[in-house]
A and B are shown apart, each in its own frame.
Chain A
């Protein structure tokens, strides 16, 4: 349902993304991994047209996003940023209600309010509904942003490091929520992730980016090999296969390994 064709993006004079091709199918979770600065976030932002790609096309169900109105695109693609700055106080309920913006011009309907209320309940945010967003913990904030994207009711979800600031339990909770929502709705999700183990466990496809180019892509166990990780991250790892899910254990950086072998 989502295709990225030969996408190029330059920031000033530096190529950030070069010839990126991705395909996302219904019911699929695709994770983008890669070192800092590889272009993960930029790729997500190009898909949702926060950035305008210099060349290449992004197609959603065959329609090119460049030709869509922003509000129509917002009905197809939801985006969860890494963090959300909040300059002015805002209630959690209102923060989630913003997800209904593509469907509401002025007054949210009963249905909109009900959707938000149900989401807050499901995600265990009920008791914070009328609290200030800024007073929440990192994990709760992340859930609120996720709830906002769910409220947007899109078939495609883009998530920028949804688990980066979370403790172990919240990480799993958030990933399980995304996974459930994708499977139940037949939606598709693209995640930018740092945690290779979390990515391997929850994704159907992994795309490994290095310096703006796709280094390799495929099923987790084909992508997560010691050679690939060594080449892209410069880190030596050992990989245990646990029921077909690769488990990555970092050993040392390649530089350190060379010092030792000298």
Chain B
């Protein structure tokens, strides 16, 4: 029999391979996505337009297609990554970046900006307000769990309560708002990449790229949490601190991307599961890989959404669910029966 050590290393090598292959795949998908769109710009032309700084082709590629592609990848990565962190620290397979009421917080923020600053609100005001309220909800949860103890049950239940509170507040404002405002609000909740420019990308990239390395460094501790709080403590993990760090950082990532794009819900729940089914539960590999899978799914969804009925664009949040759900269910059925 082959040495176990070698076997284990082989397995780890294969996981690393998966990540590298997926990076390449994502690059390839981006190139394909770059050549698809309402205007008939083929693969070669769009690729050439990347480097040729004149003409309409250049403008289409740099102003319309590339920002969407990069933002799609960023959103997917951020939500996939944050989802994995939330599932690990809450030890709950149903946890997602929205479990702690973060999405409804962000939604409420957007609604406030749209309704109260009617007429003169800018995209940044909406995004800023969404970002702020997304963090408000996660800090509310942290406050409650500090008083009551950082158990997963307290956090999840408090999160659900907060979610209902913010949803109700949003509904109230929508009820009071005008037709145009309600239309804008509904559109925000669909989740869309249409209004994204380079500045938004830069901001979102900062919000995604800064917390990620810190969280990846904590992957061992995240692994240990799945062995139970008590075992983790006995193995030297400061469980409360990990939980708070994890929630703060993952909330920052979530808020940082959804404040620009609206609610793209499903991906943060599903990307971690898809990835876990493929490469297992070791967070050192799982975290980056879920980010990549999330990025790939959102990019695919957005590309399909803008080419299917082109020039009509279907909001990415909707297509993500249409593509993600069947794929996820397929994996779920195919995988051995006792996944949990």
Contacts and interface: CB of A to CB of B under 8 A. Distances in A.
Given A81-B228, A87-B226, A70 B233 contact: yes
Contacts of A209: none
Nearest to A86: B226
Contacts of A49: 233
B230 A73 contact: no
Contacts of B281: 88-90, 94
Given A104-B220, A117-B4, A129-B4, A89 B276 contact: yes
A211 interface: no
Given A86-B226, A86-B227, A89-B280, A117 B236 contact: no
Contact of B226 (A79, A90, A101): A90
B5 A117 contact: yes
B227 A121 contact: no
Interface string B168-207: 0000000000000000000000000000000000000000
A62 B340 CA distance: 44
Given A101-B236, A121-B4, A130 B227 contact: no
B147 interface: no
Interface size range on A against B = 35 or more
Interface in A87-118: 87-91, 93-95, 98-99, 101-102, 104-106, 113-114, 116-117
A45 interface: yes
A162 interface: no
Given A91-B280, A134-B338, A102 B235 contact: yes
Contacts of B338: 134-135
B40 interface: no
Contact of B228 (A74, A75, A85, A117): A85
A19 interface: no
A42 to B, nearest CB: 12
A50 B234 contact: yes
Interface residues of B, number: 37
A78 interface: yes
Given A91-B280, A106-B217, A152-B235, A117 B3 contact: yes
B310 interface: no
B196 to A, nearest CB: 34
Contacts of B4: 93, 116-117, 120-121, 126, 129-130
Nearest to B8: A93
A50 B230 contact: yes
B231 A79 contact: yes
A74 B338 CA distance: 33
Contacts of B237: 70, 101
A58 interface: no
B117 interface: no
Contacts of B122: none
A84 interface: yes
Contacts of A127: 1
A90 B4 CA distance: 16
Contacts of B7: 129-130
Contacts of B1: 126-127
Contacts of A113: 5, 8-9
A13 B58 CA distance: 73
A106 B214 CA distance: 12
Nearest to A135: B338
A259 interface: no
Contacts of A88: 87-88, 91, 93, 226, 276, 281
Given A94-B223, A94-B282, A81 B230 contact: yes
B339 interface: yes
B289 interface: no
A126 B7 CA distance: 11
A77 interface: yes
B235 A81 contact: no
Contacts of A168: none
A256 to B, nearest CB: 37
Q: Which one of B87, B238, B281, B340 has the greatest number of beta carbons of chain A within 10 Å?
A: B281
Nearest to B228: A85
A158 B238 CA distance: 19
A101 B231 CA distance: 11
B11 interface: yes
Contacts of B226: 86-88, 90
A124 to B, nearest CB: 12
Contacts of A129: 4, 7-8
Nearest to B7: A130
10 contacts: A50-B230, A74-B235, A81-B228, A81-B234, A87-B226, A89-B339, A94-B281, A102-B236, A129-B4, A135-B338
Question: What 8 A-B pairs come out closest when comparing CB atoms?
Answer: A74-B236, A79-B234, A71-B236, A117-B4, A88-B281, A117-B5, A102-B236, A101-B235
Given A88-B87, A89-B280, 10 more contacts: A70-B233, A70-B238, A74-B234, A84-B228, A87-B226, A87-B340, A88-B276, A90-B227, A101-B220, A101-B237
Interface of A: 45, 48-50, 70-75, 77-79, 81, 84-91, 93-95, 98-99, 101-102, 104-106, 113-114, 116-117, 120-121, 126-127, 129-130, 134-135, 152
